[in-house]
Amino acid sequence: MHLSPYLDDVVVWAPAKVNLYLEVLGKRPDAYHAIETLMVTVGLYDTLVLRDGPSGAVALACTDPTLSAGDDNLVVRAARLLQERTGCPRGCRMRLVKRIPMAAGLAGGSTDAAATLLGLNRLWQLGLTANELARLGAELGSDVPFFFHAPAAWCSGRGEIVSAVPVSGRLDLVLLCPRFGMPTAQVYRQVEVPARPRSGEAIRSALSRGAALEVGRGLFNRLQESAVRLDARIGEYYKRLVSLAPAGVLMSGSGSSLFAVCRSPTEQERLTAVLREEAAEDLFRVFAVRGCV
């Protein structure tokens, strides 16, 4: 996340994420699944603008009219959680410029919640550390703590136990984001837990060394088969990306977005041009982004 003060406002750029590796280890007593995953931020951002509200009220406006700006929005929930836990009497007016597709496996809601905690910590001068903010974030969603350890991290538990991973260089990625979303809970209900989990150490090492080809070869997501069973279009888009012969292709999170790891910016440009021409019917959106930003 990138934060900057601007006149009376604090502005936070909240990045999306993709999962380079995701293994499901089993069902937990709390009904969540235990997982291991390697996540990286990508250069597709929502923007959150925050202004102080001395009255103590919390208000949110959003550029996407289909997204609730009420009490169920993670941005509002994050602001109120921070008020409650710190006893801060101040409020805020917030404006969310939404660019990250929703229900797409890109953690758009989680990154917005993390941006809220980070921005209000600065605006209200609370002095909380990144680790303290991450612990609060874990109460809002499993992916929220990751954004305080970006640009790359190994996440376990239900996703809230986070260890930063060193990276060397950047990844050139192309995102294909269908116009439909995927229901995370249903995808997890469909998953078949393996008797022997697949290791993610090789791709973790490759990312640390900046070896894009090895990263592409090591991509893995246990949830992808589940998502394809629920919606065959995921499989069709996956096959189309594979046919363009990038270094690797994978679905992110529980879907619906997929991404291609490219060998170079030139290959990224080629794939983007081909896919944008095919996207003319507005069935999906295409983004050329850098990973580990």
Which positions are catalytic? 17, 143
> In angstroms, how far is CA 15 from the centroid of its own chain?
7
Beta-carbon neighbour count of residue 97 at 10 Å? 16
Q: Helix/strand/coil (H, E, C) string of 80-105? A: HHHHHHHCCCCEEEEEEECCCCCCCC
Separate counts of helices (H) and strands (E) for the chain: 9, 12
- 155 and 200 in contact (C-beta within 8 Å)? no
91-97/58-62 β-pairing: parallel
Cβ–Cβ < 8 Å for 95, 48: yes
Task: Give the tokens for residue 272.
Answer: 């983007």
Q: Rounded to an integer, what is the distance from CA 138 to the centroid of its chain? A: 14
Rounded Cα distance between 291 and 226, Å, is 25
72: its two tokens:
């169920």
Task: Answer for the pair 24, 222: CB distance below 8 angstroms, yes or no.
Answer: yes
Token digits of residue 77? 């929930």
The C-alpha atoms of residue 39 and residue 145 are separated, in whole angstroms, by: 12
Six token digits for residue 118:
């980070």
Phi-psi region of 275 (alpha: psi -120 to 50; beta: other; left: phi over 0): alpha
What's the burial of 32, exposed, middle or buried (CB within 10 Å: 0-12/13-18/19+)? middle
